[in-house]
């Protein structure tokens, strides 16, 4: 069960900052520690930054989730950008098609418990990630 608590359109750096702050607030409300709040916010800003960089615009949905015995946070990122041809390669540390470090996707994946990318070239990309309260 997921109740979407925040929906943030992503068009500029200001929106990335807002998504970061919103994810931290939701994580705080769910009961995550301050450290975990920062880790979640860091993952969110990396993936939101990719939306700006590669797709120019998109959106972020942040939800508190209740898996029955455990609670957590779920963040979904949607864009209608160029898509990712090889998701396995994109997730490799150091792989970049820009001048980045190629650490955004692998870094975010490491910080979260669940991390899924769905993408179609020419159509867009969806990233869904979750972290559960220990």
Ligand X SMILES: Nc1ncnc2c1ncn2[C@@H]1O[C@H](COP(=O)(O)OP(=O)(O)OP(=O)(O)O)[C@@H](O)[C@H]1O
Residues that bind Mg ion (CB under 5 A): 50, 100, 104
Among 89, 116, 126, 106, which Cα is nearest to 42's? 106
Q: How many Å apart are CA 15 and CA 5, to the nearest integer?
A: 16
Given 100, 118, 126, 132, the residue binding ligand X (CB under 6 A): 100
Residue 58 or 104: which CB sits closer to Mg ion? 104
Residue 74 structure tokens: 């779920």
Among ligand X, Mg ion, none, what binds residue 89 when CB lies within 5 to 8 Å by partner kind? Answer: none
Coil, strand, or helix at residue 81? coil
Query: DSSP character for 131?
Result: E
Please say which residue, 38 or 106, places its beta carbon nearer to Mg ion. Answer: 106
Residue 132 CA to residue 39 CA, distance in Å, equals 13
- Strand, helix or coil at 10? strand
Q: How far is the CB of 93 from ligand X (least distance, A)?
A: 8
The single residue among 68, 98, 122, 134 that binds ligand X, judged by CB under 6 A, is 98
23 binds, among ligand X, Mg ion, none (CB under 5 to 8 A by kind): none
Q: Find which of Mg ion, ligand X, none residue 82 binds, CB within 5 to 8 Å per kind.
A: ligand X
């Amino acid at each position: 069960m997921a109740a979407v608590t925040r929906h943030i359109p992503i068009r500029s750096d200001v929106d990335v900052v807002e998504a970061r702050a919103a994810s931290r607030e939701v994580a705080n409300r769910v009961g995550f520690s301050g450290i975990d709040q920062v880790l979640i916010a860091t993952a969110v800003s990396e993936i939101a930054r990719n939306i700006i960089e590669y797709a120019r615009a998109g959106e972020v949905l942040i939800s508190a989730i209740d898996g029955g015995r455990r609670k957590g946070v779920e963040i979904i990122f949607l864009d209608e950008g160029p898509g990712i041809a090889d998701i396995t390669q994109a997730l490799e540390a150091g792989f970049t098609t820009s001048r980045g470090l190629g650490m955004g996707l692998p870094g975010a994946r490491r910080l979260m418990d669940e991390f899924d990318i769905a993408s179609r070239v020419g159509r867009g990309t969806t990233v869904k990630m979750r972290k559960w309260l220990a």
